[in-house]
């Protein structure tokens, strides 16, 4: 059974007698580790909330992800249904496979809590790789973890710094709050946030995007610019529409340049 292709269809060969390749197993392990809170020594020394904490917070706190507020005075959402559903799905996936593994291996069953279940499964990944049902288990566990991670990611306190550069890691670099470093949630890799964002922006200069896409992409990389403002620049002939009248598209580098000029003028006015 050696040299067969990974049962998770990643395209990699399995170097041992398992059904799943080591990199896919490592990805699941790292995602399970992300459930726990993480202590960052700093400076400054702080605790980065893990996925379990983030889900609990998102479920109960006032959340209004991606809406930018409401001009109509609507009551903000006080219960994040998406986070609640994602937590339920995740808890079910982890609990189901934990129960099956614990029974089959004769192991003590951990508490029915996200942190305890994730800690238990983290140490079962190597065993799962060698099981015929391992692909189904790792696929369900990984999908539930990634779905929950997507739900709780908040632009206000997390900054995107691109895909992880660690070989065989499918994670993304994210910086928390005002942190100088961005961390990959799937592994232990770190990068300097500003330098990494600048690198990504330089690579993206010649890309063509719609105004809403530009607002989201540039905002995530530290450049705040509204879609409405982009359309205004085009209407004033300061920006060229490189798409069609029905689907205007703009060069990333051109929008960055105008945004930088606007920021500089605003800074002078404040000064």
Tell me: the pLDDT tens digits for 18-55? 999 999 999 999 899 989 987 766 556 667 778 898 88
The rounded radius of gyration (Å) of the Cα atoms in the chain is: 22
Pairing of strands 190-192, 208-209: unpaired
The reply to whether 57 and 136 lie within a common domain is yes
| The predicted structure's pLDDT at residue 78 | 40
SS3 251: strand
Residues 211 and 226 in one domain: yes
Tokens, residue 154: 């908040």
- pLDDT for res 149: 85
Task: Flag whether 197 is in a domain.
Answer: no
pLDDT of residue 269: 42
- pLDDT band at residue 74 under the 50/70/90 scheme: very low
* DSSP H or E segment with residue 40: strand 38-40
User: Is residue 206 scored above 70 in pLDDT?
Assistant: yes
Q: How confident is the model at residue 158 (pLDDT cuts 50, 70, 90)?
A: low
Q: 126 versus 17: which is more confidently predicted?
A: 126
Looking at 142, 165, 192, the residue that finishes a domain is 192
Which residues, in sequence order, are CB contacts of 78 under 8 Å at separation 6+? 62
How many separate domains does the chain show? 3
Supply the pLDDT for residue 159: 75
């Amino acid at each position: 059974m050696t040299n067969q292709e990974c049962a998770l269809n990643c395209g990699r060969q399995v170097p041992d007698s398992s059904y799943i390749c080591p990199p896919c197993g490592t990805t699941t392990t790292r995602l399970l580790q992300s459930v726990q809170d993480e202590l960052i020594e700093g400076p400054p020394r702080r605790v980065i909330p893990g996925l379990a904490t983030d889900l609990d917070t998102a479920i109960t706190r006032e959340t209004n992800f991606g809406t930018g507020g409401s001009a109509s005075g609507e009551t903000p959402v006080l219960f994040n249904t998406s986070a609640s559903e994602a937590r339920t799905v995740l808890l079910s996936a982890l609990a189901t496979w934990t129960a099956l593994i614990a029974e089959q291996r004769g192991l003590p069953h951990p508490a029915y809590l996200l942190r305890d279940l994730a800690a238990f499964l983290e140490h079962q990944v190597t065993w799962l790789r060698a099981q015929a049902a391992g692909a189904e288990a790792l696929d369900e566990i990984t999908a539930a973890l990634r779905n929950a991670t997507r739900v709780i990611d908040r632009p206000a306190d997390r900054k995107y710094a691109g895909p992880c550069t660690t070989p065989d890691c499918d994670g993304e670099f994210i910086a928390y709050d005002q942190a100088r470093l961005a961390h990959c949630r799937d592994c232990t890799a770190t990068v300097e946030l500003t330098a990494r964002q600048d690198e990504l922006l330089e690579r993206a200069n010649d890309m063509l995007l719609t105004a809403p896409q530009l607002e989201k992409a540039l905002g995530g990389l530290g450049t705040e610019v509204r879609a409405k403002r982009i359309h205004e620049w085009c209407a004033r002939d300061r920006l060229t529409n490189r798409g069609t009248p029905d689907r205007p598209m703009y060069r990333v580098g051109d929008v960055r340049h105008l945004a930088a000029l606007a920021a500089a003028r605003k800074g002078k006015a404040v000064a």
